[in-house]
């Protein structure tokens, strides 16, 4: 029984590691910052997976995963192999493959809860853009911050039933009154609305002012959703602003635009890392 619990705990840890590696990959694609190269974290996930499968005695599956791991490690792209969604957005093929293997071994420990969230909160927020701007659902695209807030919350509530509107904080977070709280994933969300290029600096100052007071035992992740009526500032610039200002990794920004996204060109594979 103890061994089974240990394996289940290892699986839960691996799921967290894959999610983090996938997020690292997404940020690396946006920022092009070599320090965010996700290769190490992706390889770590493969090693965790191999250890779990070996402890479960699944020898044929272990051979399959090991073969996949060695092929990726020795390939020209390494662990940076990417695919492309129908919208032209890159994604990590390795993270996708890891999730596939993880799904297989999770079947040995069926959960009593049939509800499974298949995407993390950042991916849900990025995908939500198409719904909140859909004129078949709404007469107009969002006209103000309140529109963005209410539309996004309505969708997130379907995925996270414990979502709180304007949650009451058990410990004060200085200069920050969150718009949305999701206790199950310890995440607070704040919404911003940009309708003019001149507002970019003002919103940037507001974001940085709020982040100075982030400290709470109940909330470990903070997300700003910035909706812009036109394409004023790319998401990578906002993320770079946070990091250059010393804001920790548990705070991030998602930018949604009223304009349709441009198709991104594929990154050329990196053959060597200095």
62-71, 75-84, 167-176, 211-220: least confident range: 167-176
Please give, one letter per residue, the 3-state secondary structure of the chain: CHHHHHHHHHHHHHHHHHHHHHHHHHHHHHHCCHHHCCHHHHHHHHHHHHHHHHHCCCHHHHHHHHHHHHHHHHCCCHHHCEEECCCCCEEEHHHHHHHHHHHHHHCCCCCCCCCCCCCCHHHHHHHCHHHHCCCCCCCCCCCCHHHHHHHHHHHHHHHCCCCEECCCCCCCCCCCCCCEEEHHHCEEEEEEEECCCCHHHHHHHHHHHHHCCCCCCCCCEEEEEEEECCCCCCHHHHHHHHHHCCCCCCEEEEEEECCCCCCCCCCCCCCCCC
Q: What is the pLDDT confidence band of residue 175, given thresholds at 50, 70 and 90? A: low
Q: Is the pLDDT of residue 11 over 70?
A: yes
Q: 116-125: per-residue pLDDT in tens? A: 444 578 888 8
Give residue-wise pLDDT tens across range 72-118: 999 988 899 888 765 567 888 999 899 889 888 888 876 544 334 44
Indicate if the pLDDT at residue 200 is higher than 70.
yes
> Region 130-147: what's the mean pLDDT?
87
This prediction's pTM: 0.54
Tell me the average pLDDT across 46-72.
93
Report the mean per-residue pLDDT for the chain: 82
Mean pLDDT, range 207-224, rounded to an integer: 78
């Amino acid at each position: 029984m103890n061994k089974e619990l240990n394996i289940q705990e290892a699986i839960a840890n691996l799921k967290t590691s894959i999610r983090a590696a996938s997020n690292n990959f997404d940020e690396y694609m946006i920022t092009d910052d070599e320090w965010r190269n996700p290769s190490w974290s992706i390889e770590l996930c493969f090693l965790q997976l191999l250890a779990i499968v070996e402890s479960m005695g699944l020898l044929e599956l272990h051979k399959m995963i090991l073969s996949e791991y060695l092929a990726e490690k020795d390939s020209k792209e390494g662990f940076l192999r990417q695919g492309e969604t129908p919208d032209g957005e890159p994604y990590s093929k390795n993270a996708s493959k890891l999730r596939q293997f993880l799904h297989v071994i999770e079947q040995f420990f069926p959960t009593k809860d049939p509800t499974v969230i298949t995407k993390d909160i950042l991916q849900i927020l990025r995908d939500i853009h198409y719904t909140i701007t859909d004129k078949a659902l709404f007469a107009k695209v969002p006209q103000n911050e309140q529109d963005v807030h209410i539309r996004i919350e309505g969708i997130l509530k379907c995925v996270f039933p414990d979502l709180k509107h304007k949650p009451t904080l058990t410990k004060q977070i200085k200069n920050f009154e969150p718009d949305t709280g999701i206790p199950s994933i310890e995440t607070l969300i704040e919404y911003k609305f940009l309708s003019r290029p001149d507002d970019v600096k003002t919103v940037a100052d507001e974001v940085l002012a709020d982040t100075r007071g982030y400290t709470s035992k109940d909330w470990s992740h903070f997300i700003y959703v910035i909706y812009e009526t036109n394409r004023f500032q790319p998401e990578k610039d906002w993320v770079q602003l946070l990091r250059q200002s010393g804001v920790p990794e548990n705070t991030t920004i998602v930018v949604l635009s009223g304009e349709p996204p441009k198709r991104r060109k594929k990154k050329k594979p990196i053959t060597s890392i200095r």
